[in-house]
Chains A and B, each alone.
Chain A
Amino acid sequence: MHEHNAAFEKTDKPVPRDYRLTGPEAARAAQKGLVSATWYQSPISRKRMKELMQRRDGPALRDTAIWLSAMAVTGFGGYWFWGSWACVPFFFVYGLLYGTASNARWHETGHGTAFKTRWMNDAVYQLSSFMFMFEPQVWRWSHARHHTDTIIVGRDPEIVEPRPPSLIMMVLSLFRMPYALKTMGSVCRHAVGRMGEEEQTFIPESEWPKVARDARVWLAIYGLTVGTALFLQSWLPLMFIGLPTLYGGWLSYLFGLSQHVGLAEDVLDHRSNCRTIYMNRLLRFLYLDMNYHLEHHMYPMVPFHALAQLHEEIRRDCPPPYGSLSEAFKEIIPTIWRQRKDPSHFVCRPLPQRAASAATVQAEPEVTPA
């Protein structure tokens, strides 16, 4: 029987690939040797890598102090001016710190690379996971899979936009609406001890009780917050806990789009499916240097404060970085627009000649040079 890839059929209506972890694409990825495969790594000496991997508490302590202090100041401003328009700029910044900066912090502490001291990683991980509405146990395991099988369809549970993308869902995602609704449902399900079918593929059964425990704690916190809001007959408690995930998460979504969207699926080379983007100091603070995303994926043990140095070590072996977030979106937006009609389209990043053939498996559809 002739086998063809549904994603690349030439029909009037684009046919989406099956991004479920339990669908046929999972088996197809295994057949193609894309599961838990060996990925390309730019050469770097063991001595230098050891230097870059070293953990320190100082940078993350300073970052966390600034982050939480800024939340306290802007939160107080929002409280003080509540009831007038003057509270808006305060909640705008508070929302970014709560709903966007928390994303980078759960991520870095989840890797265990933010702090040298383990309990500090764990404490900030729990706090920032709650703020970003990422269930801590679920996302720890989901993210491990994302690093094992980055943008491998049928394997990676963290592919931000499927092909073809839905523009309506993307607009709603700016306010994290689809995700928040889905998460509240799964938190309730986890609180009664039920795991989803896909979750069972990447979370070991021994960890399921922790998923239920965390979900119950979350429900208690949300219950107390909603109860306080009802008691006070005010939205104010929800402006501090819960809602900032929605009204302050838009920049995090843009960061998320910039990481992989529009690049190749099903390749074993992070240089082809990750973007490194130069950003200013403010964005790098909010994003915790995850703008060096290619470097992070290639060497995930390097802490955020050493990623710029790692970038300097390997950049001659990588595609040129993007000069700014807006430059990246000048590529991403037209790519997404075209993928609505042509899901096979993606941006092919230029690889240095020396190592261009290192990726053992490459995607097959037609490509457009960057």
Chain B
Amino acid sequence: MTDQWIDVCAVGDINEEDVIRFDHGPHTYAVYRSADSEFFATAGLCTHESIHLADGLVMEHVIECPKHNGRFDYRSGKALGAPVCVNLKTYEVRVEAGRVLLAITV
């Protein structure tokens, strides 16, 4: 099992305090840019009912699911209360030469 760095997008493709959806193979991810331009990534689907989080709202370090308003801290993946009870998986992200790279274990 090794980490493989996957090119996601250019830095400018994600607005500050926003999120985009990134699909790779059979998996979907949510990639975030914080208000101070740090990048993070989590699993793309809400652990409550498998809704794409990239359609939700980023508020400071929280992503809110668009369907039932479940909230996670996208830095740690921690579920912040009902109706979400299961944490999100998080992934390492880095920026190189203006590109956002996502670490995927293969």
Mark A residues whose CB is within 8 Å of B. Answer: 36, 50, 53-55, 111-113, 116, 137, 140-141, 144, 147-148, 204, 206-207, 299-301
Query: Which residue of A54, A204, A301 contacts B85 across the interface (Cβ within 8 Å)?
Result: A204
B80 CB to nearest chain A CB (Å):
8
**A residues in contact with B49, CB < 8 Å:** 36, 144, 148
* Identity of the chain B residue whose Cβ is nearest the Cβ of A112 in the assembled complex: B69
A138 CB to nearest chain B CB (Å):
11
* Stretch among B33-41, B60-68, B94-102 lining the A interface: B60-68
Query: Which residue of B18, B68, B69, B71 contacts A148 across the interface (Cβ within 8 Å)?
Result: B68
Number of A-B contacts (CB under 8 A): 42
A193 CB to nearest chain B CB (Å):
19
A338 CB to nearest chain B CB (Å):
34
Answer whether A301 and B82 are a contact pair too, CB < 8 Å, given A112-B69, A144-B68, A147-B67: no
**A residues in contact with B50, CB < 8 Å:** 36
Mark B residues whose CB is within 8 Å of A. Answer: 18, 48-50, 56-57, 59, 64, 66-69, 71, 82-83, 85
Q: Is the CB of A148 within 8 A of B67?
A: yes
Query: What is the CA–CA distance of A53 and B69 in the complex, to the nearest angstrom?
Result: 11
Answer whether A301 and B83 are a contact pair too, CB < 8 Å, given A112-B69, A112-B71, A144-B68: no
* Identity of the chain B residue whose Cβ is nearest the Cβ of A52 in the assembled complex: B57
**B residues in contact with A206, CB < 8 Å:** 85
Query: What is the CA–CA distance of A148 and B69 in the complex, to the nearest angstrom?
Result: 12
Query: What is the CA–CA distance of A301 and B51 in the complex, to the nearest angstrom?
Result: 13
Query: Which residue of A137, A147, A204 contacts B68 across the interface (Cβ within 8 Å)?
Result: A147
Q: Is the CB of A50 within 8 A of B57?
A: yes
Q: Is the CB of B83 within 8 A of A300?
A: no
* Identity of the chain A residue whose Cβ is nearest the Cβ of B65 in the assembled complex: A301
**B residues in contact with A204, CB < 8 Å:** 85
List 4 additional contacts besides A50-B18, A112-B69, A299-B66; criterion CB under 8 Å.
A112-B64, A148-B49, A300-B67, A301-B57
B6 CB to nearest chain A CB (Å):
23
Answer whether A137 and B82 are a contact pair too, CB < 8 Å, given A144-B68, A300-B68: yes
**B residues in contact with A141, CB < 8 Å:** 82-83
Q: Is the CB of B66 within 8 A of A144?
A: no
Query: Which residue of B48, B59, B69, B82 contacts A300 across the interface (Cβ within 8 Å)?
Result: B69
**A residues in contact with B71, CB < 8 Å:** 112
**A residues in contact with B83, CB < 8 Å:** 140-141, 144
A259 CB to nearest chain B CB (Å):
18
A100 CB to nearest chain B CB (Å):
23
A370 CB to nearest chain B CB (Å):
28
Closest 9 CB pairs of A and B: A53-B57, A144-B83, A144-B68, A112-B69, A111-B69, A301-B66, A140-B82, A301-B57, A206-B85
**B residues in contact with A140, CB < 8 Å:** 82-83
Q: Is the CB of A300 within 8 A of B85?
A: no
